[in-house]
Amino acid sequence: MLVGHTAFAEIESGAPRVFAALRDRLLTGELRAGDRLPAERELAMSLGVSRPILREALRSLAMLGFLEIRHGSGTYVRKPDIASVGDFLTFCLAQQPDTLDDIIQARIAIECQAIRLACDQASEADLNRIAESLTTLTQTLDDPELGGKADYDFHFGIVKASRSAALTTLYRAISQLLKRSHVERRRLTVTVPGIRNYLVEAHREVFLSIVDRKADEAELRLREHFAIGDEFRRKSLAAVYRQLEADMN
């Protein structure tokens, strides 16, 4: 039992060393997706770990999707799977209190920079995709599920139009939480007076500012959209609370 515990501890201490080494080599460009890792003996010596510990560490990294072990061929760096990263990130963030409120702040930071880039980088195809999402959004105002999805597609279209791989990757990684946020907000505000006109007009103004390629105006319209949307959410929460009080009385 003691031997097993010691071996496990060695593996635990060895895995971070292997991970750190691979991470550093990926960051410097020494390793790229598809590259074969050095031979097991060479890699173990360079990292200062035993070969059994190295094997276990590599298996762990393969299970996480970072590596691919091809028996008889070697171990290769896998192309990143953003879906797996997103699932992991979603799981981590979902454990935190007030996750959706926190995600909104991350969303604002990403989108406000993305929309400035989109004003410069968006192609005609990008603008057409955003316009299609806007059309769908206006047709699904009474459907929280479909409307929430169209709302998400509209905003993700802006991020993709920025042509920034980093911003797009970050946005996609939190996409499940963002989609949930869109749907929940739609459910909460669907009966608030004025919400239908607001949703159409706010998104239309954001879109037109991108078409006109006015970065400052686009960011301003987007920030106003977030602020007013939050005000509608607060009003709906207040209305729900007042109704509960009335029912209790």
Chain centre distance of CA 75: 29
Instruction: Judge if 27 and 97 occupy the same domain.
Output: no
Backbone Cα Rg of the chain: 24
Please report the pLDDT score of residue 8 as a whole number: 40
Q: Give domain status of residue 107, yes or no.
A: yes
Per-residue pLDDT of the chain (249 residues; tens, 9 = 90+): 333 444 444 444 566 777 788 778 877 888 888 899 988 889 888 888 888 888 888 887 787 777 888 988 889 988 766 666 666 666 666 666 666 677 888 899 999 999 999 999 999 999 999 999 999 999 999 999 999 999 999 999 999 999 999 899 889 888 888 898 889 888 888 777 788 888 899 999 999 999 999 999 999 999 999 888 777 666 655 554 555 556 666
pTM: predicted TM-score of the whole model, two decimal places: 0.69
Q: Give domain status of residue 247, yes or no.
A: no
C-beta of residue 60 within 8 angstroms of C-beta of residue 49: no
C-beta of residue 185 within 8 angstroms of C-beta of residue 148: yes
Please report the pLDDT score of residue 163 as a whole number: 96
Please report the pLDDT score of residue 119 as a whole number: 97
CATH code, domain with 33: 1.10.10.10
Instruction: Judge if 101 and 29 occupy the same domain.
Output: no
Please report the pLDDT score of residue 144 as a whole number: 92
C-beta of residue 193 within 8 angstroms of C-beta of residue 136: no
Please report the pLDDT score of residue 59 as a whole number: 83
Token reading at 55? 């094997």
C-beta of residue 120 within 8 angstroms of C-beta of residue 162: no
Instruction: Judge if 118 and 233 occupy the same domain.
Output: yes
Please give the DSSP secondary-structure letter assigned to residue 123.
-
Boundaries of domain holding 95 = 83-241
Helix (H, G, I), strand (E, B) or coil at 168: helix
Please count the structural domains in the chain.
2
Instruction: Judge if 93 and 216 occupy the same domain.
Output: yes
Q: Give domain status of residue 248, yes or no.
A: no
Q: Give domain status of residue 246, yes or no.
A: no
Residue of 206, 67, 198 lying closest to 141 (CA atoms): 198
CATH code, domain with 171: 1.20.120.530
Instruction: Judge if 8 and 93 occupy the same domain.
Output: no
Beta pairing partners, 69: 75
Instruction: Judge if 22 and 89 occupy the same domain.
Output: no
- Fill in the amino acid letter for 19: F
Q: How far apart are CA 164 and CA 14, in angstroms?
A: 35
